[in-house]
Amino acid sequence: MAKKYKFDLTVDSTALLQANPTEFYSRLYGMETASSNYRVLPGIKNKTKIANVLFDQVTQDAACDFAATDATVSAIEVDVCPLMLNASVCQYELEQSWLATEMAQGSNSDFSVASFMAYFWEQMANKAHEEFAKLAWQGDVDGATSTFLDLCDGWLKRLCGLSPIRVEQVAVNSTNVITQLGSVMTALPNEVVVNAGNGLQFKVSPNVATAYRIATAATNTINNVTQSLGLTFLDVPIVVEYGLPADTIILSSKDNFVFVTDLEGDIDSLEVVDFSKTTLDRRIGARADYKAGFYITNDEQIVLHGACTAS
């Protein structure tokens, strides 16, 4: 005998408000490029340690006696900063916008518009990514900006508290940018150049990348007129870091910049609430939670052309 199944097809109106969490966090973290530009450690909810080992000379003259040199084992403690994103939109602002014609009739009916909420989430993720990029580099919990930059220590603060190879910072323009990139490249130890392999990268602020494009296009008619310019210098990729202060150039293996995150549970934490059904406020509220931490390894293998202060 055939079985009959009945399904309740009633869908709560708030279902239309939910964003695609995977897409949202991918846009927030820039995950399409994160693994290519940093060492990403997911699944971190609290303090943990990253192990490191350094060797002295290991090659010796052959002999019957075993006379090994000691390897130095160390660890870097990492942690995450719990962060959240909050935003809301008022019913009356929606009613007075171009969306009014798409809203249900009546002052007490559902006032959400699915097409607008998709756009709302997209723009919220873009804004969050912009702030995340700056926090990752310029964050300082001891700062006094009274902004999101005070919420977590970023890579610049970590780096400047260590001993990177410093190159004198100058204002970068299209006239001197190639010279400055060359100075940074020359300062990197030879063994790092050899051993970093494909992980070696320049990380530059947007104005440095723009200056480099202008400088190279001025001497190359093909790139200037008909082709897009690939960002490399002496075969080393140039990554534009939008969170870096102006005139900053960093050269290192990407694995020396550690991005710690929980992430595994983040895709389940997106929440959108129609407050008219709870607190009676005529607002739609959106919240997303995540964890992030930014750490440095092998600082003596990193070249810094830049200041330690935020822009």
CA 94 centroid distance within chain: 32
Strand 81-90 to 283-296 pairing: antiparallel
- 288 band by pLDDT with thresholds 50, 70 and 90: confident
Angle at 165 between CA 159 and CA 168, to 5 degrees: 100
Distance, in Å, from the CA atom of 114 to the CA atom of 120, rounded to the nearest integer, reads: 10
- Give me the pLDDT at residue 58, please: 80
Q: At residue 97, what is the residue type?
A: S
**Helix H or strand E segment including 21:** helix 21-29
Q: Is there a contact between 125 and 28 (Cβ–Cβ < 8 Å)?
A: yes
CA 59 centroid distance within chain: 41
- Residues listed for the chain: 311
Q: Is 139 exposed, middle or buried (0-12, 13-18, 19+ CB in 10 A)?
A: buried
- Give me the pLDDT at residue 175, please: 95
CA 156 centroid distance within chain: 13
pLDDT tens column, 41-86: 888 888 888 887 777 788 888 888 888 888 888 788 889 999 988 8
- Give me the pLDDT at residue 257, please: 94
Hey, where are the domains in the chain? 18-54+72-305
Q: Is there a contact between 35 and 263 (Cβ–Cβ < 8 Å)?
A: no
pLDDT tens column, 100-125: 555 555 554 555 565 677 777 778 88
Measured from the Cβ of residue 291, the count of other Cβ atoms closer than 10 Å reads: 20
Q: Is there a contact between 140 and 147 (Cβ–Cβ < 8 Å)?
A: no
Distance, in Å, from the CA atom of 155 to the CA atom of 166, rounded to the nearest integer, reads: 15
- Give me the pLDDT at residue 311, please: 45
Distance, in Å, from the CA atom of 253 to the CA atom of 240, rounded to the nearest integer, reads: 15
Name the DSSP letter for residue 106: S
Question: How high does pLDDT run on average in the chain?
Answer: 80
- Give me the pLDDT at residue 23, please: 63
What CATH architecture is 18-54+72-305? Alpha-Beta Complex (3.90)
| Global pTM value | 0.78
Is the predicted pLDDT of residue 2 greater than 80, yes or no? no
Is the predicted pLDDT of residue 37 greater than 70, yes or no? yes
Distance, in Å, from the CA atom of 266 to the CA atom of 31, rounded to the nearest integer, reads: 13
Is the predicted pLDDT of residue 284 greater than 60, yes or no? yes
- Give me the pLDDT at residue 14, please: 47
Q: At residue 166, what is the residue type?
A: R
